[in-house]
Chains A and B, each alone.
Chain A
Amino acid sequence: NAGVTQTPKFQVLKTGQSMTLQCAQDMNHNSMYWYRQDPGMGLRLIYYSASEGTTDKGEVPNGYNVSRLNKREFSLRLESAAPSQTSVYFCASSGRDYPLGNEQFFGPGTRLTVL
């Protein structure tokens, strides 16, 4: 039982390059989330998927796209990376059975640097 896994762990991109961050969970959770973490700003929600087949924008969606490939996998794509997207990216998942639906489980993170 690996929980939430993310690949890659580290990535360096040049401005304008594209890449996809992968996330998978093996807890049979319905909801999945992508956050970015920047110093002094906590975690900010980029996109989320409340259930398989749906995705919605979070607080900071500009410059990103997501795909909920199936119930297990939720990917985040940067089409044209910018230095402002240098950050640590976390994927999380949660079940939806009351009252535990809000408890989120986090992956180890991806450290992305855009030069």
Chain B
Amino acid sequence: AQSVTQPDIHITVSEGASLELRCNYSYGATPYLFWYVQSPGQGLQLLLKYFSGDTLVQGIKGFEAEFKRSQSSFNLRKPSVHWSDAAEYFCAVGERADYKLSFGAGTTVTVRA
């Protein structure tokens, strides 16, 4: 069964600084990979997804993520963080034959002025 690890429970970053959130997965074949964002009191919104092809994927709100098969990682990045990026971020992995997703525990991002 696949599993997802987000090593960082909480990250604090200054507004305008860069952000990188780590995600590692355990899965035998090529997985489907997702990053979701959850603002306080809200549901989850999809930021970006990887199915195949180019390993660098662009998402909404200026986020991007890179799939590295050799490291079983799918890290999320943003060059310059805005105060509105304060939220909880979830990495998720799925497989083609099964439409379920496994989620990481989440990383909470705090943005300081």
Whether the pair B99, A102 counts as a contact (CB closer than 8 A) is yes
SS class, residues of chain B in contact with chain A: strand
Whether the pair B103, A42 counts as a contact (CB closer than 8 A) is yes
Whether the pair B106, A42 counts as a contact (CB closer than 8 A) is yes
Whether the pair A58, B43 counts as a contact (CB closer than 8 A) is no
How many residues of A are counted as interface, with CB atoms below 8 angstroms from the partner's CB atoms? 28
Selecting from B12-20, B45-53, B64-72, the interface stretch reads: B45-53
| In the complex, chain B residues whose CB is within 8 Å of the CB of A98 | 96
Indicate the size class of the contact surface on chain B: 20 to 34
Name which residue of chain B comes closest to A38, CB basis.
Answer: B105
A45 to B36, CA, bound (A): 16
| In the complex, chain A residues whose CB is within 8 Å of the CB of B46 | 103-105
Check: B109 CB closer than 8 A to any chain A CB: no
| In the complex, chain A residues whose CB is within 8 Å of the CB of B99 | 31, 48, 50, 94, 96, 101-102
| In the complex, chain B residues whose CB is within 8 Å of the CB of A99 | 32, 51-52, 96
A-B contact count (CB 8 A): 58
Name which residue of chain A comes closest to B94, CB basis.
Answer: A102
Chain B nearest CB from A63 CB (Å) reads 20
Check: B9 CB closer than 8 A to any chain A CB: yes
Considering the complex, which residues of chain B in the window 54-113 have a beta carbon less than 8 Å from any beta carbon of chain A?
90, 94-96, 99-101, 103-106
Selecting from A13-21, A77-85, A106-114, the interface stretch reads: A106-114
Given contacts A108-B42, A109-B43, contact A43 B90 (CB under 8 A): yes
Chain B nearest CB from A39 CB (Å) reads 9
A90 to B44, CA, bound (A): 9
Which B residues are closer than 8 A to A by beta carbons? 4, 9, 32, 34, 36, 42-46, 49, 51-52, 90, 94-96, 99-101, 103-106
**CB<8 Å pairs between A and B, sample of 18:** A31-B99, A41-B105, A42-B90, A43-B90, A44-B103, A48-B99, A50-B99, A96-B99, A101-B96, A101-B99, A102-B32, A102-B34, A102-B94, A103-B46, A106-B36, A106-B43, A106-B45, A109-B42
